[in-house]
């Protein structure tokens, strides 16, 4: 025996066939498939981006700390051109220790 939900589906299928015809149904199915794929892609991107901000913040904060190190070195009168981050930090430390010993 066919239940009520099965009749509803059958009636909807007949209405769709009458409204759009058999040639439009594959187009509609492709459109629904594309919409579903786009939704899933956007969902994956959103989930990937929401789990990724810690990495972005680390890169941004690293750049900000590099800029701060260069600013401190220039304030102390050190030349930073062509030097690595570690070399600049080492010179800052040496300079600060020397200034502290002068006092």
The whole-angstrom separation of Cα 88 and Cα 69 is 8
Domain residue spans of the chain: 1-51, 58-103
Q: DSSP state, 48?
A: H
CA-closest candidate to residue 85, choices 53, 101, 57, 63: 63
**pLDDT, tens digit only, all 103 positions of the chain:** 778 889 998 999 889 888 888 888 888 889 989 999 999 998 888 877 766 655 554 666 777 888 888 888 888 888 888 888 889 889 888 888 888 787 6
Q: Using one digit for the tens of pLDDT, what is the confidence trace for 41-63?
A: 988 888 777 666 555 546 667 77
pLDDT score, position 74: 87
């Amino acid at each position: 025996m066919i239940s009520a939900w099965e009749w509803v589906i059958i009636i909807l299928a007949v209405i769709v066939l009458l409204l759009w015809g058999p040639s439009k149904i594959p187009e509609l199915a492709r459109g629904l498939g594309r919409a579903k794929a786009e939704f899933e892609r956007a969902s994956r991107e959103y989930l990937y981006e929401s789990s990724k901000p810690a990495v972005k913040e680390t890169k941004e904060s690293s750049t900000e700390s590099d800029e701060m190190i260069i600013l401190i070195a220039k304030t102390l009168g050190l030349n930073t051109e062509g030097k690595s981050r570690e070399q600049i930090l080492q010179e800052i430390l040496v300079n600060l220790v020397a200034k502290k010993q002068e006092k």
